[in-house]
Amino acid sequence: QVQLVESGGGLVQAGGSLRLSCAASGNIFSINVIGWYRQAPGKERELVATISSAGSTNYADSVKGRFTISRDNAKNTVYLQMNSLKPEDTAVYYCHLAPWSGTYFRAGYWGQGTQVTVSS
């Protein structure tokens, strides 16, 4: 099993920055994809960004150019640097790890989430 613990959320003014961390432990496969998701009140959970074991990244259009996802495989930690924050970025942010079985990506693991609140 894998455990994911997010940290770094908080309250920030519009235009400010935060860096979220997702620390992974347990039986972590060497090949995997970790994504950041967010869910605002009354809205569906949405994908924010993903990063593969090889470092390939993808971003939602709404955050492209403002957010940066990165990972330190040696530390089993993934980061989400969030700049130029907007009130609409307010949400609970979750990290998710999908391990590669050798044939397909298995059902993954979720962290507990961390609250990000951006005031205007």
- The conformation of residue 16, written as its DSSP 8-state character, comes to -
- Are 75 and 6 spatial neighbours (Cβ–Cβ below 8 Å)? no
pLDDT at 101: 81
- Determine the length of the chain: 120
Question: In this model, does residue 40 exceed pLDDT 90?
Answer: yes
Rounded Cα gap, residues 41 and 94, in angstroms:
14
pLDDT cut 90: percent of the chain above it? 81
- At 63-114, the pLDDT tens digits run 999 999 999 988 889 999 999 999 999 999 999 999 888 888 888 999 999 9
Mean pLDDT in the chain?
Answer: 94
Secondary element (H or E) of residue 3: strand 2-7
**Confidence band, pLDDT 50/70/90 cuts, at residue 49:** very high
Average of per-residue pLDDT across 17-27: 95
Q: Which residue has 């907007």 as its token pair?
A: 86
pLDDT at 12: 98
**Confidence band, pLDDT 50/70/90 cuts, at residue 30:** confident
